[in-house]
Amino acid sequence: MDKATRTRPTGAARSPAKAPGRPRSDATRQSVLRAAFELLTEGGLARFTIEGVAARSGVARTTIYRWWPKKGALAMEGFLEATAPEIRFPKTTSAVADMKAQLRLCAKLLRGRAGRIICGVIVEGQTDPETIAAFIEGYLQPRRREARAILQRGIDSGEMRPDLDMSALLSALYSPMHLRLLLGEPIDDAWVDSLADTVLQGCLATPTAPAQVRTAAPPRSA
């Protein structure tokens, strides 16, 4: 497809040199993405309309269609553009603690403006598989990779069981807050913590009483 030619954001266009014709305006691209992000944030989904984005961004409707033939793609790209670098968290010696920290960060993200956008992306994705793919690829996977690394560190240090089913575990930890988001239920840190405790309590190398999980110290010795 010529999609690779046109959608520049992905990857490094290894053909650095010429593309014939007038080059794509980056100012245009950004103002569209910003407008999309804002509309999604403010009016959430109902107000998120190509027409609206065009109006607010001052970009012609046709231009928007040229680059984002699907609304979902636009939402997703606007989302990534605006929130990509937000998730960073400190690493401690305890995998459980790290895990919880990341979960809390993610929860915070969902509580904020990004939450509305994720809902929008998922909704759009119901009609368009590519949007879902972009969502999984661009948002879920990175988070999962990071989480996987944390758990691996836990295993390596002996804090966590070595026979963890990571995939299942990650689902159990991350899905609930996304579903709550979609259902409009609050996602506060206390709830996240208790979920983490409940799920992680069976994953420690040294089984403990649930109360102890909460303080989850790196296991013995050290």
Partner DNA sequence: TCTTAAACGAGACGGTACGTCGGGTCTTGTG
Partner DNA sequence: CACAAGACCCGACGTACCGTCTCGTTTAAGA
Residue 179, binding choice from DNA, a second copy, none, Cβ under 5 to 8 Å by partner class? a second copy
Stretch that binds a second copy, among 39-47, 88-96, 105-113, 152-160 (CB under 8 A): 39-47
**Residue 7, number of CB atoms within 10 A of its CB:** 15
List all residues 6 or more positions away from 124 whose beta carbon is below 8 Å from its beta carbon. Answer: 70, 71, 72, 75, 131
77-85, 102-110, 143-151, 179-187 -> range binding a second copy (CB under 8 A)? 179-187
207 binds, among a second copy, DNA, none (CB under 5 to 8 A by kind): a second copy
Look at residues 102, 103, 136, 142 and name the one whose alpha carbon lies nearest to residue 121.
136
Select 20 or 90, whichever has its Cβ closest to DNA. 20
Sequence-separated (6 or more) residues with CB below 8 Å from residue 61? 50, 51, 54
Instruction: Compute the least distance from the CB of residue 157 to a second copy, in Å.
Output: 19
What minimum distance in Å lies between the beta carbon of 16 and a second copy? 25
Residue 106, classified by CB atoms within 10 Å of its CB into exposed (0-12), middle (13-18) or buried (19+), is buried
Distance CA 216, CA 177 (A): 22
Residues in touch with a second copy (CB under 8 A) = 44-46, 119-120, 122-123, 125-127, 129, 132, 135-136, 161, 163-165, 167-169, 171-173, 175-176, 178-180, 182-184, 191, 194-195, 197-203, 207, 209-211
